[in-house]
Amino acid sequence: MKNEIDGKQILAVYEQIIQHGEATQDGKFFMGLTAFSDIDGYTIYLKGSGVLLRFGFHNTYHLDYEHDKHKDDFLKKISNILADL
């Protein structure tokens, strides 16, 4: 799972969602993904397609998902947002 997504890409997608997303109870929603951060702002999250990505210090991230299909769909949404930049 390591290095499947570049840290700069995660940050770019997060910023795109925060800037252009629709405000919801959970965070900002854009192109199928929701972005939010913890209270101190040190950890950011991207959520969608049954996946939760947690991105923190030292450009480390962790993906939580049950099925590979969920992960594949999530990664496709990240790619679509990156292509939209």
Residue 25 has pLDDT above 90, yes or no: yes
Please give the pLDDT value at position 2: 45
To the nearest 10°, the Cα dihedral for 24, 26, 48, 85? 60
- How many Å apart are CA 9 and CA 79, to the nearest integer? 9
Average pLDDT, the chain: 93
55-84 pLDDT per residue, tens: 998 889 999 999 999 999 999 999 999 998
- How many Å apart are CA 80 and CA 16, to the nearest integer? 11
Please give the pLDDT value at position 49: 96
Q: How confident is the model at residue 1 (pLDDT cuts 50, 70, 90)?
A: very low
Mean pLDDT of 11-20: 97
